[in-house]
Amino acid sequence: MKTTLYLFLMLFATATWAQRAPADILQTSKGPLTIQPLHHATLALTWQGKTIYADPDGGAEAFQGIAPPDLILITDIHGDHFNPATLEAIPASKAIIVAPQAVADKMPEGLKAKVVVLNNGQTTNQLGISIKAIPMYNLPEAADAKHTKGRGNGYVLTFGNKTVYLSGDTAGIPEMRSLKNIDVAFVCMNLPYTMDVPEAAAAVLDFKPKIVYPYHYRGANGLSDTDQFKKLVQASDKSIDVRTRNWYPN
């Protein structure tokens, strides 16, 4: 019985791994950065032998074949970004967790000592990586919005001479549109939680990242049209490399 269960779990993990979008490599001045899309808002980055998990969700099986994290970034309190069960399931004993205060307040007791609190506008340097917290919020601003200004963080990460932007859950806010010199951006687009495809495209055309991944595109009525997003962006600026990936494998 135990052997059968073990084989089932191994087959499940192998199938999940096989369905992942392929990893991409970005060359930086201090070595290659591996970019691994995983699921919805979850991704892994590897640089200089260090592994970063962003918004880990999906249990330990979501990270089969990926090294344990040295750094974990969490953007917001919602379950698709902050999943305590996943944080406790993954081998995170040596990881530093960077999160806004609202997340730190809800962190399981066993993990609270690992948290570096970073709020909007603040910067920290962890493992040789500069991490700046960028606002993420809904427009128009409202006290009852799903994402209020100041609660959650987007992040700009610097790896050598390259910068990576994680939008978190946000509209096409001025703070996003005014970003400069972003090499890689992960931009959300799912109504009614964040923004629609045209707004996301318009925001990207304002800050002009060299590479953009549409992610976090499952909304209340299914998946947003990432092909439309690509067409809208490249119709105005063909120099932006729009990389559509399957963030929702079966």
Query: How does residue 18 score in pLDDT terms, banded at 50, 70 and 90?
Result: low
Rounded Cα distance, 37 and 45, in Å: 9
pLDDT of residue 97: 98
If DSSP codes are grouped into helix, strand and coil, which group holds residue 150? coil
pLDDT of residue 95: 96
pLDDT of residue 217: 97
Residue 247 lies in a domain: no
Residue 101 lies in a domain: yes
Residue 110 lies in a domain: yes
Residue 138 lies in a domain: yes
Judged against a pLDDT cut of 70, whether residue 4 lies above it is answered with no
CATH of the domain at 201: 3.60.15.10
Rounded Cα distance, 36 and 51, in Å: 11
Output the average pLDDT for the chain. Answer: 92
Residue 175 lies in a domain: yes
pLDDT in tens, 156-193: 999 999 999 999 999 999 999 999 999 999 999 999 99
Residue 248 lies in a domain: no
Q: How many folded domains does the chain comprise?
A: 1
Q: What are phi and psi of 67, to 5 degrees?
A: -60, 150
3-state secondary structure 159-179: ECCEEEEECCCCCCCHHHHCC
Residue 73 is inside which H or E element, if any? Answer: strand 71-73
Cβ contact 72:56 at 8 Å: yes
Residue 94 lies in a domain: yes
pLDDT of residue 140: 87
Residue 249 lies in a domain: no
Sort strands 42-47 and 31-39 into parallel, antiparallel or unpaired.
Answer: antiparallel
